[in-house]
């Protein structure tokens, strides 16, 4: 059985950005907040089944796994 592929999203605000990874099999993931000074805040998350609708409503856009992983590695 194939392992579900994580989904990645981001939103750029005025002076910071948020990147989110969601594992669709159990709705866990990681939120990264990139602050203006370059510091990265990492939070392990547990989402509900409506996370994809919530992200769309909050104007998050899909992003690539590479961008997320590079940002995570900096943190």
pLDDT for the residue 75: 81
pLDDT of residue 66: 96
- Kindly give, in sequence order, each residue whose CB lies less than 8 Å from that of residue 74, ignoring residues fewer than 6 positions away: 38, 40
Report how far residue 22's alpha carbon sits from residue 48's, in angstroms, rounded to the nearest whole number: 10
Least Cα distance to 8 among 24, 16, 75 occurs for 24
Low-confidence ranges of the chain (pLDDT < 50): none
Sheet hosting strand 40-46, strand order edge to edge: 40-46, 28-34, 17-23, 7-12, 61-62
Note the pLDDT of residue 74: 92
Nearest to 12, CA basis, from 22, 4, 20 = 20
């Amino acid at each position: 059985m194939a392992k579900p592929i994580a989904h990645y999203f981001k939103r750029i605000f005025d002076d910071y950005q948020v990147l989110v990874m969601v594992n669709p099999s159990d709705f866990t993931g990681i939120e990264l907040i990139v602050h203006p000074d370059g510091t990265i805040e990492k939070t392990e998350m547990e989402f509900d089944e409506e996370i994809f609708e919530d992200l769309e409503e909050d104007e998050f856009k899909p992003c690539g796994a590479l961008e997320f992983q590079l940002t995570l590695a900096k943190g």
